[in-house]
Amino acid sequence: MAVAESDAYPPIEAYGVVGNRETCALVAPDGSIDWFPFPHLESPSIFAAILDADRGGRFRVAPTDAFETAQRYVDDTNVLETTFYADGGTATVTDFLPPADRTDHPRKVLYRKAACTDGAVDLAVELEPRFEYGRAETAIEPVEQGILTAGAEERTLLESPIDLEIDDGRATGESSLEAGETAWFLLRCTGSEDATTDPEAALAETIEYWSDWVHSCGPDDDCAFEGPWHEQVVRSQLVLKLLTHAETGAIAAAPTTSLPEDIGGVRNWDYRFNWLRDAGFTVQALLNLGTVEEASDYFDWFMDRCRAADPATIQPLYGLHGESDLEERELDHLAGYRGSRPVRIGNGAAEQRQLDVYGELLLAVDEMRQHGRVLDDDEWERIRDVVDYVRDVWDEPDAGIWEVRGGEKQFVYSNVMCWVALDRGIEIAVERGGDAPLAAWRETREAIRTDVLENGYDEAVGAFVQSYGSDALDATGLLLPLVGFLPFDDDRVRGTIDAIERELGDDDVFVSRYDGDDGLPGEEGAFVLCSCWLVDALALSGRVEAAQSRFESLLEYLNPLGLFAEEIDPTTGAYLGNYPQAFSHIGIVNSALYLGYVRGAETSGPPPMGIRLGEPAVSLGE
């Protein structure tokens, strides 16, 4: 339990998130919805107080008196409860949106149920919509059903059980609840104004939807995720499902934009898109969680991107509907989270060249193949084209996986992933009967390997470095054995793991992405996913106790809801970057998976790629 945050900007880790698999809303511990893009994650916001406390807009339901507050999810769901403990009593606000692939209730309705459970509580309601990121003129007026607001294109209708007064673009009011009494506030968004709904039924069916879907196992099941972190894995699964677009199967990196990696700095990016680089590790996590349908939908989505484009024009990221035009723009009128400017929409990285993407795509294809997916002729043709393209361009510089803005380089990880594209392409071609220029592919695969070993490993550093000619370390070096480039017991691999743990690690918990220049001012925090990669590398190289200790220490930094942002400030534990972050939760799932395997757990499918391909230096079950 925490005292309600008095700062205009609550800590990032203080927020809860709800959504309908089309969009998400962030709920502060004081009952304020401070972020809500509509109708989709990539759409302009209706509420954006998290990016500008004065101009962004919010929708708040909370006690009028001083209170303490706590948030929790209804077990195994994405239904959020915020409980207020005031002097006169206790009240809980339950927030949810019905999932988009359930048709029983309109999905474009944000439900807020206020219930007094003890004593009596006076509630204040504040509705302050600001359409188009606060740029559009907002009309607000009372109507018979409640309060109607409208921007240039979108509109909302707030159904309220109490009368609200309108003043200076806001609707406000108060309501008194005694124990056992409830009040429903329904924010109907464009397209749902005339739909009928039963709020209690909508709540019950939304809870049922999530609890029926989520991973479960009994005490006698041999679950690969067994261990004290099972609950955290389940929450990570729920986060990934929440960020999965119901219509296309694409998974957003995060539901937010411009939450800073450096408070007050310029490292503020829009993450409401899908990065193809996430494909391999995402598919592995989904398949091993048993969410085969979601993995297949995501696979089909990114294969469609390959069908729609020449390999040379495949982008690092796309909109959740497949949009390729993600022009990066700055919203100068917004102050930014705690003064972190500029606020950006769109992402210029879509125009970068990132050669590692092709290897990550082939990792995902291979993972699906290992789980029984048979490629049709059209899919194989697209994959073959990708491998042929990689064969021609693997030795050219690019922007790298971290999308540095300091100029293209010959990144070691990009070259290794080009090797992966050739390696997995060869395996698939052999399985299909050799329908590919195998001799040429094998020649290029060996050329890449030789080049990386000669130019990517620095004898003086004792590790693989970030780029050719550099002595900077990069956490992606931890992935070389995981993808099968070298075995875990190779001295160069062990040296790389040790160097990254020593130079990029912090307090036996965190790992930074790299220590080289990236062309941007300021410093970022420790990267949650990289911290998970070190756990994986330690576990599979035989240092199981150290891996488990690191993992359990990392999980202590999860917020009370079980959510992670992209980064963490190692000094304060504060969250940094967009939130909640899919890549962070994918890391949690896969680290739990590897730790489960090295401790002897099994699943019905094949072993995960790090065990199948990386020749672990530990016997399973030791």
3-state secondary structure 190-210: CCCCCCCCCHHHHHHHHHHHH
Using CA of residue 250, residue 253, residue 259, residue 260, what is the dihedral sign? negative
How many residues belong to the chain? 622
Q: Rounded CA gap, 579 and 387, in Å?
A: 34
Torsion of CA 549, 281, 207, 31, to 10 degrees: 70
Task: Say whether both 294 and 173 belong to one domain.
Answer: no
pLDDT greater than 90 at residue 518: no
Q: Same structural domain for residues 201 and 325?
A: no
Residue at token pair 């490629």: 375
Dihedral sign computed on CA atoms, order 326, 327, 332, 335: positive
Q: CB burial class (10 A; 0-12, 13-18, 19+) of residue 588?
A: buried
Q: Is the pLDDT of residue 410 over 60?
A: yes
d(CA 357, CA 468): 19
* % of residues, the chain, pLDDT over 90: 85
* pLDDT score at 4: 40
The distance in angstroms from the start CA to the end CA of the chain is 40
Question: Does residue 382 sit within a domain?
Answer: yes
Asked if pLDDT for residue 620 goes beyond 90, the answer is no
pLDDT in tens, 100-138: 987 677 878 999 999 999 999 999 999 999 999 999 999
475 assigned to some structural domain: yes
103 in any annotated domain? yes
Distances in Å between the Cα of 242 and the Cα atoms of 164, 577, 584, 585 are 32, 18, 14, 12
> Is the backbone of residue 555 left (phi > 0), alpha (psi -120 to 50) or beta?
alpha
Residues 230-275 have pLDDT tens digits of 999 999 999 999 999 999 999 999 999 999 999 999 999 999 999 9
> Is 261 in the same domain as 163?
no
Domain that holds residue 84: 2-213
Residues 140 and 275 both lie in one domain:
no
| Mean pLDDT calculated for residue range 562-569 | 98
Q: By mean pLDDT, which of 254-268, 407-421, 594-608 is the weakest? A: 594-608
In a domain, 225, yes or no: no
Statement to judge: residues 201 and 339 lie in one domain: no
- For the cut 50, the answer to whether the pLDDT of residue 480 exceeds it is yes
Question: Tell me: the pLDDT tens digits for 460-473?
Answer: 999 999 999 999 99
Last residue of a domain, one of 213, 245, 277: 213
Contact (CB, 8 A) for 393 and 314: no
Provide the domain count of the chain. 2
- Are the C-beta atoms of residues 223 and 77 closer than 8 Å to each other? no
pLDDT-based confidence at residue 600 (cuts at 50, 70, 90): confident
Residue 619 has pLDDT above 60, yes or no: no
In a domain, 219, yes or no: no
- 145 and 281 fall within a common domain: no
Choose one of 213, 245, 273: the last residue of a domain: 213
User: 555: how many CB neighbours lie within 10 A of its CB?
Assistant: 19
CATH of the domain at 579: 1.50.10.10
Q: How confident is the model at residue 492 (pLDDT cuts 50, 70, 90)?
A: very high
Q: Are strands 463-464 and 505-506 parallel, antiparallel or unpaired?
A: unpaired
Taking CA 573 as the corner, what is the angle to CA 571 and CA 576, rounded to the nearest 5 degrees?
Answer: 105
CA neighbor of 21 nearest in space, from 93, 144, 103, 140: 103
User: Is residue 619 domain-resident?
Assistant: no
570 and 513 co-located in one domain = yes
For residue 292, name the pLDDT band (cuts at 50, 70, 90). Answer: very high
- Among 167, 185, 213, the domain boundary falls at 213
Give the range among 72-81, 266-275, 598-607 with minimum mean pLDDT: 598-607
Euclidean distance between CA atoms 543 and 69, whole angstroms: 41
Asked whether the predicted pLDDT for residue 163 surpasses 80, the reply is yes
Mean pLDDT value across the chain: 93
Lowest mean pLDDT: which of 37-51, 400-414, 444-458?
Answer: 400-414
Give the pLDDT score at 622.
39
43 and 191, same structural domain? yes
pLDDT digit string, tens, across residues 353-385: 999 999 999 999 999 999 999 999 999 999 999
Return d(Cα 168, Cα 241) in angstroms, integer: 39
Longest dimension (CA), the chain: 78
Residue type, 100: A
Shared-domain flag, residues 140 and 283: no
Given this model, what pLDDT does residue 617 score? 64
**Which residues lie closer than 8 Å to 333 by C-beta, 6 or more apart?**
52, 55, 134, 135
Helix intervals (H) in 394-473: 412-431, 438-455
Taking CA 321 as the corner, what is the angle to CA 316 and CA 326, rounded to the nearest 5 degrees? 50
Taking only Cα atoms into account, the Rg of the chain, rounded to an integer number of angstroms, comes to: 25
Q: Which residues contact 262 (CB under 8 A, 6 or more apart)?
A: 340, 522, 523, 524, 525, 576
Task: Please give the DSSP secondary-structure letter assigned to residue 311.
Answer: G
Between CA 263 and CA 265 the distance in angstroms is: 5
Over range 156-185, report the average pLDDT.
95
Q: What is the pLDDT of residue 2?
A: 43
- What average pLDDT does range 404-415 have in this prediction? 91
Question: At 36, which CATH number?
Answer: 2.70.98.10
Residue 546 has pLDDT above 90, yes or no: yes
Q: Rounding to the nearest 10 degrees, give the CA dihedral for residues 8, 11, 16, 18.
A: 70
**pLDDT (mean) for 536-557:** 97
pLDDT digits (tens, 9 = 90+) for 496-506: 999 999 999 99
Question: Is the pLDDT at 67 greater than 50, yes or no?
Answer: yes
Residues 159 and 282 both lie in one domain: no
Residue 152 lies in a domain: yes
Are residue 179 and residue 239 in the same domain, yes or no?
A: no
Percent of the chain whose predicted confidence (pLDDT) is above 70: 96
State the pLDDT at residue 219: 66
Q: Looking at the domain assignment, is residue 424 inside a domain?
A: yes
Look at residue 616 in the predicted model and tell me its pLDDT.
67
Confidence (pLDDT) at 11: 98
Instruction: Judge contact between 160 and 188, C-beta under 8 A.
Output: no
Q: Do both 186 and 278 map to the same domain?
A: no
